Structures are given as structure tokens and as C-alpha cells.
Structure 1
Amino acid sequence: MAEVDGAIKRDGGPTLVQAMNARFEGPMELNSGHVLPGFDLSYETYGRLDRDGENAVLVCHSLTKGAHAAGRHIAQDAHSGWWDRAIGPGHMLDTDRYFVVCSDVLAGGASTGPASADPATGCPYGADFPVVTIEDMVNAQRRLMQHLGIVRLHAVIGGCFGGQQALQWAISHPDAVRNAVVIGTGPDTSAHTIAIFSVMRHLIRNDPNFNDGDYYAGPGPVRGLANALVAAVPLWMSRDAMGRRFARRTMAGQPPRYTLEPEFAVEAFLNSIANQPRPAIDPNSLLYLMRAEEYFDLPGRYGSLEAALKSVSARTLFVSYRTDWRYPSEETDRMHQVLLRQGTHSHHAVLDSPLGHGGFIYEVESLAPEVVPFLAEEDT
């Protein structure tokens, strides 16, 4: 087979990478019963696919991230990809060894979703775009892997929303996955997370510019999105993490001013998120991605957790965080124990991080001692 090259170099200067897009024609039936007439997926690659196509690692992004996982698109970009410290020569996902692919998902901002043109009208779908599930997203990614000439992934890896995708890959396409690394994910999405997502939806939809999701000709619900992202911070940043980073410090380091204006350092941090120069994600896309995460329910979908994981043959590494109250370690361990009972290779690493649920993005170095040797092991 032909080699696919997405070389990534780190020579002291910015690592430049290219965003790519794959178009898939023909109908795709979704879990909801709706059918997409075709779809696009945005993706990036790093490293080189070997001739037997066996060294590919698929990175599944978290909720508000995307396909841009490493490097920069232009040298002037203020920030590199969201998992830049994990991908590259000598990094956790070593591009001298692995061909790393990071794929966007259906309803993601750069792939077919609410902002795409509805073939029936020529206008953006908006809220008329069909609801998609994690399973739908994984099935679309499977077609992307085939498009790239990848028959069997060496590994699929992801955290939170991405961890749900990694799990679904191992369940839906067991012959196509050798190793699965599932980080900060449980067998379902809790009512507590659904409640927080509901608050975020209210903030977006109640922006006067939301216009029932049909806002692409106007400014859009920029303020509602900013407020929703601010409201989400306590979802991934624990009480202890905020205490360690900000304590009760004032912004100026001075005694209280006794004002209703922003006073504390933690408020300045939240304001920096709210006042980003450009939206982190299309508001409609965020609504769809949150809904997909909410519908993720392995026991409900398959009848039991045992039935859901019965098809899994991939060597599986679960990683959880002791301080993650959103997806607690004991919930992750339920899946680990099921795989052990059925004789599937499984390991569960519980890490300590003051960031709790956000540890997998902001403390990548703590993952490497678990992930690197796991991916390098031979089948046992």
C-alpha cells in the first residue's frame, strides 16, 4: 500500500501542519433513523503510515476541541494544537514510531454539521441538522480510516467525550482496534453532567442572537456561548485545583475594594475565557456534541454493561483521576472489572491531579508513564 505522510518536525521553530478534509458520498443512516446523503470529516495527521498500515493511532478529541491536535497552521498562530505536548518525536505519541490521526466528528465545527448547507435548501442546516450519537461519529471515523488505508488501528485514544469514542470503537469495530486507551470516561453520562449541560444550553439559547439556531447570516449567540463556556469551568476544574491556582487572591494583590466589579483572581481567569477574541466552537455544534455525550449509555444501549463490552477484544488501558467527580474512578473500574472477568486484557491506572477531570489535557506528562509502555507492549 502507499505510504501516507503527515510529517511533523520540531526544530526549535513552529511546527506547521495542514488541516485536511475527506468527502464521503452516499447515504449514512444514523441511530436516530435519519439519513445523511453524504458527509465531510476534517482531520490532521502526524508522522508516517508504514507500508502494512499497522502503526496508526487515532486521537479522539474532547468536547470543545477538534482535529487540530498538534502543531500550528501558520507560524503566527498564538497557540499550537490542543494536545501538542502529547504528539511528536519523543512525545507520548511518538511520530517517529506512530502515524497519528486526529479526526473531527459529525456535528463538529469543521465537519458536516449544523453550519453545513442542507442539500434540500442550500442554506445551513442550523437546528434542522439531525441529532447524532457517539456511535454515529465512530462509524463516520471508520470510513475515514478506510479512506486513509488503515485496516486496523494500533490504538485509539481519547479523554472524556474522546474516551467515549475510544470505547465505542472497541465495541463497534473490534477487528479494527488493537489497543484502546480510555481516559476520564465512565459507562454512561450522569444526571449531574446532563444538568450542567442543560444550564449551558439555556445560556446559549437565551442569547437574543440565537434565533432558534438560524443565526449564520448574523452575529450569532457569541455572548451566550461565552457564558456557557464560563459556566462549564467548574465541570472540569475541581475545587482543590481552583484553590491551589487562585486561592482568594485579588486581581491586584491588594486588600478588597468593596465593589461589585471583578475583584478576585479567579474572576479574571473566567473573564479571559468569556472574552476570547473568537468563539472556541460553533454554538450549534456545542449543543449537538453535548447531546451526543448525554446519549452515551452503554448499559441502556446494550441491556447491560456486560453485554456492551462483550465484543471488546482490544487490549484496554483505562485511566481515571482520583479527584474527578464528573467521571469517578469507581465508575471507570466497573468497566475494567467486566473486561477482566471476560478474559480481555485490561489495566486501570488511577492518577492524582489537582485538575481532576481536566488532567488529561493540561497534565499530559502524567499520562505518558502509563500510555507509552502500554502501546509498546506486545499482545499477551
Structure 2
Amino acid sequence: MQTSVLRFTFFHRLRTPPLMVIDVGAGAIRGLLFEEGQGAHLPKILHKNVRSTEPSITPARLIQEVHTFLFEVTKELGYAPKKVIIGIGSDIAEFSLTLIRYAMPHPQRTINASELSGFFREQLDEHQDASRFLLAYPLGVRANGYPISASLLEKGDTRSVKELEFPTLFAWLGRETGEAFDQLRQMLGGMNIVCMTIPEAYRITGETVLDIRDGFYIDIGSETTLLTLVKEGALTAVSSFSYGTHKIARAIADARTLSFSQAQDLLRHYMDGSLHEDAMRKVIEIIAQSVREWERNFLKALEVCYHHGPFPAMAVLCGEGARLQEIRALLMRGEWLRALSYVSTPHLKVLEGRSVFGGDSLGGFLQGSEDARIGALMHAWRYEQSFN
């Protein structure tokens, strides 16, 4: 199923090809076609497209759906978008944080960007896995154990460098998913496609929009929940588990002998607060049981964070599952936090699409928590471009 907010018919008159940002989720693929805002001006969204995907879709099939999605956009436009920014999240990738080290053969005072890239790629080969496809995102560079900017290294404003370290976020794709991704990047003779990870998009948005340098992001999607820990402005831990709103809908479908789409509608109305009383009584215990199961998975996924020291008090809830009051209440009770932090109750914030740009929905295209990812992707990409 596909829903569109606007047709493309007038886009042929645009002087500059627009850009596109795509949030690839197991429940839906969301795309925004937009024009860049100059300076402090906000971007102008021209079109929003939401394509629902089939239940239990595989990551490889998701990427193939993106291929079809982009082909249709290009056909309607008459040309390819200037650039396509694709968000990489836990529905298609497994994440891990790694420190890549490079021992300099000879100490150097100056290292240019090309050399840095070469050193990184040389060490990256050691981390390849023949059974999986690796996307690697360096998050910074350290010289002799100390963080330093690439510009200072190039100027030589440092001591002789004996060792480089690259904190790196790995996004692992299954082999079939990776092959589908390669085909996507080669479509139409090589469309200008760049990728940004959802954890990094949340980190940038949190720091630059919400003024959060220390926070814990909980993104509850359709099939997975993605956890991102940020401390002192740096990605510190990333974890995920296979439990999202689809699993709750399946529990409702099984218990009430409904189709999956009927159960989804019930859950959607429940989260919106528009479910009538009789129907609510029939699903409220099913949802409560599902949330308890989500909590068990959540606590297990937190184990990778224990050795990173005290957790920040700020927790940011994102994704369509953020609309569940039971999830919000569970997180606010704080039992999960007490073993990880000096505080007993978190400061809980729900990130919505419209809050990414200071409450501006950009013409009504960015709304609730289900639009948080795509809003964060758009903002984070624009923020990074301002420094390039």
C-alpha cells in the first residue's frame, strides 16, 4: 500500500533537482523530497511518500522496495534527485562500535585527508567478514590516544603521530541485503546515494536541536527496537533487539482471531486514544503482556551498556512505539535505570518529527514520533553539510 501527499506533476519546472531523504523501516518506507534551505532557512518539503511494506519483510526485500520506490520517483520527476540520503537502522543492519588502530610505520607531524582515509581503509580490511556486508562510519580520529581534528593533523599542529585510532560505527548487512544494496547504488547508471546511520542522526539531532550531549535514545519501530547511548556528545553504545509494534499487533491478531491488518488498526486506534471502550477492554491485557515481554528484551539488550559507566538521566523515546502509554509509564518508573545510573527516575522526552525543526512541521509533513527518524535524518545531513 502506498500513500502520497502530493503528486509530482509540477516538479519539471524546478530549476534545481530536489534532494530526497528515505527512512527504511520494516513497517513503512518514508520518503521526503525537499529543497535545501539556504543559511538559516528551513528546507522546503515538496512531497511526502509513505509506502507500507508487507508483514515480516526481510531486510533484502526492504532494500528492493527502496529500489522500486526510487525508480517510481525518478520516473515521475523525469530525472533523478540531486542526492538521496538513506537512513540505515536496525531493521536492515546490526550495529557495533569498534576502535580501529593504525600504528604509523614512521612518526609523522602532518597527515592529510587522503592519507587518513588510506590508513583507515587499510585497517578496515582486517574487519571484513565474507558472510556479511560491512558499512563502516568513522566517528572521529585520535592521535597518540587524544582526540584531534583532521584539519589540525593536516596543518601539523600536533606532536609527531605514532598511532592513529578511529572510533567507528559498523553497520553489518546480511550478504543478500548487501548485494541488494549494491544494486541499489548502481541503479540508473549510479544515482548519487549516501547513507547515514540512525544512531548518528539521533546523536546530531539531540546535541544540536535538543541540547542533549548525554542521552539514551530508545527507538521502537515496527520490527525492532534500537538503543543508542550518547555520552559527552559521542556515540558510546548501540544495541537492538527484535521487538516492535508488529509483534504487539500479531499478539492481538492471535488472541482475537483477527487478520494482521485488523490488529494493526486496533493497535493504532489504541495508541491514538480513539478506541471505543468495549474494544479497549478486549486488547488492553494483550498489550500489557506484550509490553512486559518488550521489557524483558529491553533489559537484556541493556547488558552491553553496563561497562560504559553511569547512564545519563535523559532518555529520548522515538518511533511509532513511543505512542504507547504503557511503554512511557514503564520507562518513567525507572527500575531499568537504577542499576545503571546515580539517578532513580529518568527525564523522559518523546521526540516527534515536528520537534526536530523547532516545532515547525514544515508544511504539515513532519508530525508525530513516527516521523522522528526521517526528521532527524534530514536535519543531521543538513548539519553535516554545513561543515563541508
TM range (shorter): 0.3 to 0.5
| Structure holding more strand per residue | 2
Which has the higher Rg, Structure 1 or Structure 2?
2
Query: What's the TM-score once normalised by structure 2's chain length?
Result: 0.34
